[in-house]
Amino acid sequence: MIKNDLFLRALKGETVDRPPVWMMRQAGRYLPEFMEIKAKYDFFTRCQTPELASEITVQPIRRYGMDAAILFCDILVIPQAMNIHVEMKPGIGPWLPNPIRTKKDLERVIVPDIHETLGYVMEAIKMTKEKLNDDIPLIGFAGSPWTILCYCVQGQGSKNFDIAKGFCFTNPIEAHELLQKITDTTILYLKEKVKAGVNAVQLFDSWGGMLSPVDYQEFSWQYIQQIIDALKDETQVIAFGKGCWFALDTMAKSGAAALGIDWTCSARNARYLTGGKITLQGNFDPVRLLSPPKTIKKMVKEMIDDFGKDRYIVNLGHGILPNIPVENAGAFIEAVKEYKSEA
């Protein structure tokens, strides 16, 4: 039994004294103890070494005591497993030297054996579960098929992913074949994560907002729905689409346990668009963590009041930034733990 099950209870829509809190990307780049590990090991070594990944996962829990841990890893381990070469270049970020842009390129993309290619992730989960000792739940995650396609076709990060979008619009048959391969791999991957011990999973559709509402349904949401359908009877699924407020009504009917909300959508609109019956997670602007701690605490209380303490998980509207002072991140967590509703 998980000792602090606040996060799991919120996912189930149960009444709680205060909402649970965790932060996207909480394991990593803003923490001095993480930077010490980063100085010794390159990015994918950190992801692929279970001892390192599990240590990085629990670092923020030791420091702040969040209500859930999220496994340190990266969404791009999926294309790596699918026979697509991915590097992490300093100053550039993700770098795929041989992007998928033709039918011939697509022929080398495989749906892999998860144990052979991603077994290190399952080992990291088991090691992390031992370290957490059932104190709090552990979240596993994956990128949405569309977001993964963006990197696989563009070859690197982008402000508009024009090459990736162009590929989908000019080669829709190949695009859907690639999306289906990513979807099939992701389902296998997340099912193994659940078997290894994660208590919930989150799907990150970081670049969903790059698509129009019509294109979003065709090239992103239908594949996320496949993943939710495959996982929802085995674990709690959180779906997070950055910039995808226009799809919230569809998402709310998907069978997901919760929906992530970014900072461009108000609590009121999010509740309205989702029908008020599903757990929501978010939506503090990550840059707002540069505000003074006193301001952060005041804004967090207002945010909880706006969403309501039930069917709500406090989080950021996207990942925490590297330049956030540790005391400001602490103020964010403390504000939730100190929360008392006026009712």
Q: Which residue numbers belong to the known binding site for substrate? A: 25-29, 44, 74, 151, 206, 318
DSSP H or E stretch at residue 69? strand 69-70
Q: Identify whether 283 is preceded by a cis peptide bond (ω within 30 of 0).
A: yes
Closest CA to 53 of 117, 118, 121: 121
**Measured CA distances, 174 to 38, 148, 177, 178, 217 (Å):** 38, 15, 5, 6, 17
CA–CA distance, 90 with 101 (Å, rounded to integer): 25
Count of positions (residues) in the chain: 343
Closest CA to 177 of 153, 158, 201, 157: 153
Which DSSP symbol is given to 138? Answer: E
Closest CA to 154 of 206, 229, 193: 206
Cβ 150 vs Cβ 143: under 8 Å: no
Closest CA to 13 of 275, 265, 240: 275
As given in the structure block, the two tokens for residue 21 are: 């809190």
Q: Which residues are annotated as a binding site?
A: 25-29, 44, 74, 151, 206, 318
